[in-house]
Amino acid sequence: MLSAGAVGLALALDAAVAELPTPVHPVAWFGRAVGPLDRDWPAPRLVGLLGVLALPLAAGALVWAVVAPATALDPLAGAAVAGLVLFVTTSLRRLLSAVRDVSEATERDLEAAREKLRALAGRDASALSAGQLRSAAVESAAENLADGLVAPLAAFALGAQLSPAVGAAAAAWVKAVNTMDSMLGYRSKPVGWGPARLDDAVMWVPARASALLLAAAAGAPTATRRASRWVDSVPSPNSGWPMGALAAALDVRLEKPDVYVLNADAHLPTVADARAAVRTVAVAGGLAYALTAALVFLPEVR
């Protein structure tokens, strides 16, 4: 029940606060620790590999070193600290708000929509049409559901089978790996080879679980089967699954120009489609929280 309470606290904080300010956000602090790796090295792949093995492990160990003593002192205090950790390693409300902002801006001011897209996607938005901007926002909603919510929740659920401290440490480790991939995992950065490969392995299950959650949230049981026809066009071995499932569930075309197209026979998302995507991702996120709470609660009951 303590681990389930930690999940509930994380959900409540996400609903109430959404996100901590950047200056006091532990993920931002971790990003500053990763920053010095982003430079030219004589052996960049080795440096990146050592970095992604050491830094996330250090983040997880630090979290465990805080949560474990708090739990030993008072189990409720330990659960509260674990919930705080889970809150800072997950994100749903801010994601949905950013997607909504981009979509609504496409009706009023394309330049503003392009500017707002920077908070969601790293692609060049200068030549994107309104439909393509909405597509990028919807794609980001699906992909970030997996990266920013399902993956750390799944790690917590797995680690919490041992203790809330281990669950919180596992969530922090996953978030750290994903952060390193986000910062370094580009083809133009050889130092990002290790972070990108480890993130691919870590995200294999969460990406596919997210596709199933999106299909369930939309009431579209065939969405993942349809998505399986398109995922090979996406360079990432994982992100195509949640994006493809959402494209199938909403029956919209999602595309990154000159890179991939999902559900090519459908139309690009309208504003109404983007709103439906926000609702679907919100429900899928709620299901993810509920399943995580159930997974950590049932073993404690037994």
More confident residue, 239 or 299: 239
The dihedral region occupied by 234, where left means phi > 0, alpha psi between -120 and 50, and beta the remainder, is beta
Residue 301 CA: distances (Å) to CA of 9, 157, 294, 296: 19, 15, 10, 9
Q: What are 159-181's pLDDT values in tens digits?
A: 999 999 999 999 999 999 999 99
Query: pLDDT above 70 covers what percent of the chain?
Result: 99
Task: Grade residue 282 by pLDDT with cuts at 50, 70 and 90.
Answer: very high
List pLDDT tens digits, range 202-212.
999 999 999 99
User: pLDDT confidence of 119, banded at 50, 70, 90?
Assistant: confident
Which whole number is the average pLDDT over 17-22?
Answer: 92
**Residue 220 falls in which region: left (phi positive, over 0), alpha (psi -120 to 50) or beta:** beta
CA distance 227 to 42: 41
And the tokens for 128?
């994107």
For the chain, give the mean pLDDT.
95
Domain locations in the chain?
2-301
Q: What is the pLDDT of residue 1?
A: 77
For 220-270, how does the pLDDT look when each residue is reduced to its tens digit (9 = 90+)?
999 999 999 999 999 999 999 999 999 999 999 999 999 999 999 999 999
pLDDT band at 300 (very low <50, low <70, confident <90, very high): low
Q: Does the pLDDT value for residue 302 go beyond 60?
A: no
Q: Residue 120: how many CB atoms within 10 A of its CB?
A: 21
pLDDT for position 188: 86
Rounded mean pLDDT of 267-286?
Answer: 98
Average pLDDT over residues 127-156: 96
* pLDDT tens for each residue of 67-101: 999 999 999 999 999 999 999 999 999 999 999 99
d(CA 218, CA 296): 25
Tell me which H or E stretch contains 32: helix 26-34
pLDDT-above-90 percentage for the chain? 92
pLDDT category of residue 124 using cuts at 50, 70 and 90: confident
CA distance 104 to 266: 21
The first and second tokens of residue 29, run together, are 């602090």
